[in-house]
Structure formats: C-alpha cells, structure tokens
Amino acid sequence: MRESISLNCSMRNRYEINWYQLRSEKLDLLISAEKDKTGRRLLINYNPYVTRMKMTADTWVTRATLVISGVTESDSGLYFCGTKSDAPEMFFHKPIRLEIKGN
C-alpha cells in the first residue's frame, strides 16, 4: 500500500491558503483555496495535482490539512503554507521539511 501524509496549517482569522513545495531551487504552487461566504467550507480554486493531493479543513476552517497520497521521493522538499487575512500580503508559516527515502 502506498502511503499518504498530512501537513497542517492554521487558518484562524484567515480566508485564503496556498501550499507550496520548494525542491532543488524550484518553488511550486501545489494547491490554493479560500473560504466560502459562510466561512465553513474551503473552496479549492487551483489544484493541478488533483489525483494525488487534496485539502481538508476542520468544521470551523481554523485548520487546513494538505493530504498527499501515493508519496514518492519526488515529494521530498520544504513545504510552505501561506495564508491571507484582509492584508494584501501573504503570511508564511514555518516550513515543513519532508524527506522521503527510497525503499
């Protein structure tokens, strides 16, 4: 069975979230979402990796979780979650280092 991993990011008082992967000098936007008008759902507005990646949230969307399934060595790298409130700039949380070793 291929493994999946989950990375968490705080969304408290934020309405938009992006997950990025930094790998060998290349920064890749993986998935992007924003809260709907009720603030109770995350609407995905960008996800080119839809077969392998999804984003879930808790009931009040105070935490967003990036779930990567079928993890391979190419998923190694630094993961950044950026969130936005009403300010124009994005706030970046502490990066998460992911290291996947071959079998």
Q: What is the CATH number of the domain that holds 37?
A: 2.60.40.10
Residue 36 contacts residue 43 (beta carbons within 8 Å): yes
The pLDDT value recorded for residue 34 is 96
The pLDDT value recorded for residue 19 is 98
Dihedrals phi, psi of 73, to nearest 5 degrees:
-60, -30
**Of 87, 85, 31, nearest to 54 (Cα)?**
31
What is the mean pLDDT for each group of 10 consecutive residues in the chain (103 residues)? 89 96 95 95 96 95 96 95 93 94 72
Residue 64 lies in a domain: yes
Dihedrals phi, psi of 79, to nearest 5 degrees:
-110, 130
The pLDDT value recorded for residue 101 is 84
Pairing between β-strand 63-69 and β-strand 53-57 as defined by DSSP bridges? antiparallel
Residue in the block written with tokens 């008008």: 37
Q: How many domains does the chain have?
A: 1
Range(s) of the domain holding residue 39: 4-98
Tell me the three state secondary structure of residue 35: strand
The chain-wide mean pLDDT, for the chain, equals 94
Single-letter code of the amino acid located at 71: V
Residue 103 lies in a domain: no
Tell me the three state secondary structure of residue 74: helix
pTM for this prediction: 0.92
